[in-house]
Structure formats: structure tokens, C-alpha cells
Amino acid sequence: MDNGINTFDEIQPSLIPGESINNYNVVVREFLIKDSIDKVWDIYENSGLQRTWSTRKIHYGFSYSRPDSSIFYAGDELNKLVPGMIVYLNLDLLYGVKNLAMAFEVTRVDEENKVIEFSYLKGNETEGKQQLIFQSTSKGNTLITHLSYYKSRVKPRDKLYPHVHATIINRFHRNMKRIYKEKSEN
């Protein structure tokens, strides 16, 4: 592995919950799902990483679970989102001309406050974290605020990041809405 890392347990998130986000750029996106916060939270927490991170442009690679030192590949049983999961994805960019590998670690799954947080890995081209904050609206729907804090070593990359990132998270949340719809119909 790169950066002198020899085992998965040596991999570290670039930001941990509560760590300062000063000096990071931020992208904010909001998504509305017309159902209760408890139902929507359940879909996001329990749909399985392979399913949630599989779209035409996003491909699930594999996951490593810190809590039980296990590796999960596509097709393995992995349904609940838990802190300590390191997730590897492949992103198709520029209509499939460029394939970008990326990885993040789930650092927080807070059911009481309805927050999911994951961090890019230390040493990635881009470092930072993403937060999904779930809130009930006055009409009983669920508003998901997706906050992305990021910075890289290359300034031009920081200028492109919001555009590429918006496409990726739009696809992710669109996929989650599809999964929600499927589960609601059953």
C-alpha cells in the first residue's frame, strides 16, 4: 500500500468527528424525500453499501470493517452502515474516459441526532469529510442536508471539485430515492 501503510488498520480518516473544519472549502446540497424522518433514516442506514453506492457512474469496490476486521466485496452480506467501515469506490468520469478510485471511512452514524458522517482517507488527493443531516420538515417530510468539506494539495482541483462532486452526490441521493421507492412499494 502507499504512504508506508501495510495494513487496513493503519489507514486513518483525514478528519474525525469534532475536528476543526476551518480552512476547508464547503459544498452544501439539499434533498427532500416525502416521508417521515424515521423511514428515510432507516433506508439510508440499512440499505447496504453495495446497493447504495452502485449507479451508472459510481461502482462499489469493496469495504473493510474495522470493528470485525473483515473485507466485504460486492455480493457479500453488508446491510447496516456502521462507524469504522472503509469504503472503496470507482467513479466513471468524462463519460467513462477517466476512472477515479476513491475511499472514505464512515466515522459517525448518530441515530439520535440523525447524522451520518464520513471522512476521506488521510493521504487521498482530496481530504475532508461529508455530513448528511436529516431533519423533519413542517409537512412531515425529510430534508437531507449534504455538507462536503474538502481541500486538496492542488488549487485547480479545488475549483473542479464542486462540479464533479455535485454530479456524484446527486446520483447517490437519486439512487437512495429509488431504493426508498422500491422498499415502500413492498
Its sign, for the CA torsion 54, 174, 179, 52, is: positive
Q: How far apart are CA 149 and CA 120, in angstroms?
A: 10
What is the pLDDT, as a whole number, of residue 1? Answer: 43
pTM beyond 0.85, yes or no: yes
Nearest to 53 by CA among 101, 107, 111: 101
Describe the crossing of helices 37-46 and 155-185 by its angle, rounded to 10 degrees. Answer: 110
Residues of the chain scoring pLDDT < 50: 1
What is the pLDDT, as a whole number, of residue 159? Answer: 81
Q: How far apart are CA 85 and CA 105, in angstroms?
A: 6
Q: How far apart are CA 25 and CA 156, in angstroms?
A: 13
